[in-house]
Amino acid sequence: MADAIIELEHVGIAFSAQRRVGSGRFWALEDVSLSLRRGQRLGVIGRNGAGKSTLLRVLAGILAPDRGTLRRRNVSCQLLSLALGFVPYLSGRDNAILSGLMIGLRQRDIVARLPAIREFSELGDFFDQPIATYSSGMVMRLGFSVAIQAEPDVLLIDEVLAVGDAEFQEKSGNALKERMRQGQTVVLVSHAEKQVAELCDRLLWIEHGRSVLEGDRDSVLRAYHEELHLGTPS
Amino acid sequence: MRQHVVELIRFSTYCELRAERSRSYLGLIWWIAEPAMMMAAFWLVFDVILKTGGPDYLPFLLIGLTVWQWMKSCITHGGYAIWSNLGLIRQARLPVLVFPLVQMLADTIKFFYIFALLLVILWVAGHPPNMAYFALPVLFVVTFLFAAGAGFLVASIVPLVPDLRFVIEQVLTVVMFLSGVVFALDQVPSPLREVIALNPVAELLDAARGILMRGEWPDWRALLKVSLISTGVCLFGIAVVQRLSPRYPKLAI
Task: Please report the number of interchain residue pairs, chain A to chain B, with beta-carbon separation below 8 angstroms.
Answer: 63
H or E segment and range at residue B82: helix B57-84
Q: Which of B148, B113, B122 is nearest to B227 (CA)?
A: B148
Mutate to test the interface with A, among B9, B11, B12 (most CBs of A within 10 A): B11
Report pLDDT for A234: 44
Distance of residue A22 Cα from the nearest chain B Cα, in angstroms: 13
- Is the Cβ pair A89, B4 closer than 8 Å? no
Average pLDDT over residues A15-36: 79
**Sheet arrangement for strand A4-16:** A67-72, A4-16, A25-37, A210-216, A202-207, A41-45, A185-189, A154-158, A77-79
B152-211 pLDDT, tens per residue? 999 999 999 888 988 999 999 988 988 888 877 777 777 777 777 778 899 999 999 999
- Is the Cβ pair A62, B90 closer than 8 Å? yes
Of residues A13, A89, A97, nearest to B19 (C-beta):
A89
Mutate to test the interface with A, among B3, B5, B8, B84 (most CBs of A within 10 A): B8
pTM for the whole structure: 0.89
Report pLDDT for B29: 83
Distance of residue A119 Cα from the nearest chain B Cα, in angstroms: 23
Locate all alpha helices (DSSP H) within A73-216, ordered by sequence: 92-102, 107-121, 136-147, 166-181, 193-199
| DSSP three-state, residue A119 | helix
Contacts of B15 in chain A (CB under 8 A): 87, 90, 94, 98
- Is the Cβ pair A19, B251 closer than 8 Å? yes
* Residue B95 touches chain A, beta carbons under 8 Å: no
B107-120 pLDDT, tens per residue? 999 999 999 989 99
- Is the Cβ pair B15, A60 closer than 8 Å? no
Contacts of B3 in chain A (CB under 8 A): 106
- Per the model's pLDDT, the better-predicted residue between A181 and B109 turns out to be B109
DSSP state of B216: P
ipTM value of the model?
Answer: 0.86
- Is the Cβ pair A98, B12 closer than 8 Å? yes
User: What CA–CA distance (Å, rounded) separates A49 from A183?
Assistant: 30
User: What CA–CA distance (Å, rounded) separates B81 from B79?
Assistant: 6
Instruction: Give the side-chain half-sphere CA count within 13 A for B192.
Output: 8
Q: Which of B110, B104, B136 is nearest to B12 (CA)?
A: B104
Cβ atoms of A107 and A101 closer than 8 Å: yes
Asked if pLDDT for residue A232 goes beyond 60, the answer is: no
A119-167 pLDDT, tens per residue? 999 999 999 999 999 998 899 999 999 999 988 999 999 876 667 788 8
Residue type, position A118, single letter: R
Asked if pLDDT for residue A1 goes beyond 50, the answer is: no
* Residue B28 touches chain A, beta carbons under 8 Å: no
